[in-house]
Structure 1
């Protein structure tokens, strides 16, 4: 497995990976919330989220370490097929069944999180003015749901598969209580991208597994639209802060989807 991070410094030492938060990401990520969740994961009877070896703050940076899962591959190196879709749906179901006391884990705020990037991008590289207002309304609507423990960042590198069909989700920067549709939408917007056939199959499996209902389709489309705009803004923000071309590339890809996304 290879290790890289867009919001943390990553170091590999012997049989463990060490993550250290960065000042840039701490502006919009709640690291105290993440630390509380990581500590909670250790005592919880669950195996979908990898339990940390250590969790501590050093010089105001969150430093956490995890054992390296040597026999697992991330979805970055695997071709997504129907079997993997089944595993992801089952993994999301397991994650959403985790119980953490609301005093330990914070709730995701659709509108405030979006507005952070709207207000902190100095030079908007992508024309999103009209879409921002629309998805802000979507976000306010999506806030009215029974929230569950959610990963909120279902990129291919955060999803690990073992040949014995075990699945694990890693990297918990964004974990909060959230609308259960967010993770379903996140897997679509971050991993399936424009693969219409796989998206349709994934949603069908999610309904069959009862992690969403057929009547949720409209809200799922709202959540997808929200994320396409959100992560375009995030990429714009990160490009301004780092001047790294990868963020401009991500932003352009996300922006194109805000214009061309096919509804489910």
Structure 2
């Protein structure tokens, strides 16, 4: 049995399985029933580019899932994210967005953020100067009248793995229907060095209106994950969450200078 670190779940490897056991304080903001609906439908599809649990149990508000474990897999943490890898990421995101799942929740930016605002004693950083801006972003979240698409919503480097047969996406526990630009914003803010942002954004070939929306979603996500990290730090007292909040706060400061 091998222990592996996890921020939202207790994770271990046993034989050829990666086993996740959910934490109670994470279950308070993740909809595990919605997550199971996603796994049920994904398992009915012939998908080669996504890795998700093949079995699970949900009892007493605890989700335990098993996913095939690939011992020699690498993640985007282990390699340089060059232009070719960016193209692969865009292709994977586009493939996620084409999935047609039924009965899956739609992301509610205000409600999701408010959970962390209302359940955090003290945010790790003072975000008061951004509150009005975030409220405006939330107010105009769907103002372009786009149709929501199935989205991953958590495209950190560790959620891209490669094990001989190309890059694949894992960990769909945050997945819901969402704005089509949210996943691109997630990858930019979570996985890319800021110097690489212009390269990736240019590859998206966005209109001026789409570019403004993308920047708004990046700002929203940085704000959201600072509150998330603050909540998680209070629950665990693990310094990794201070580091995450600091990185997002630095991104917020950079963004305000860009505008």
Could you tell me the TM-score, scaled by structure 1's length?
0.90
Structure 1 match to 2:226: 232
1:134 paired with 2:128, answer no
Contact 1:124/1:236 (<8 A) preserved: yes
* Structure 1 CA distance for aligned equivalents of residues 56 and 207 of structure 2: 37
* Structure 2 CA distance for aligned equivalents of residues 23 and 156 of structure 1: 25
Contact 1:75/1:156 (<8 A) preserved: yes
* Structure 1 CA distance for aligned equivalents of residues 3 and 81 of structure 2: 19
Structure 1 match to 2:122: 123
SS in 2 for 1:142: coil
1:199 paired with 2:193, answer no
Structure 2 match to 1:44: 45
Provide the aligned length of Structure 1 versus Structure 2: 255
Could you tell me the TM-score, scaled by structure 2's length?
0.92
Single out whichever of 83-92 and 47-56 deviates more from structure 2.
47-56
Structure 1 match to 2:7: 6
**Offset of residue 143 of structure 1:** 3.2
* Structure 2 CA distance for aligned equivalents of residues 13 and 35 of structure 1: 22
Contact 2:124/2:226 (<8 A) preserved: no
Single out whichever of 34-43 and 155-164 deviates more from structure 2.
155-164
Alignment of 1:141-152 (within 5 A): 141-144=140-143, 145-152=146-153
* Structure 2 CA distance for aligned equivalents of residues 187 and 70 of structure 1: 24
SS in 2 for 1:204: helix
Aligned CA distance change for structure 1 residues 183 and 163 (closer, same or farther; 3 Å): same
- Deviations 1:89-122 (CA, angstroms, capped at 9, x unpaired): 1100111111111x2x100001111111111111
Contact 2:49/2:168 (<8 A) preserved: yes
**Offset of residue 214 of structure 1:** 4.9
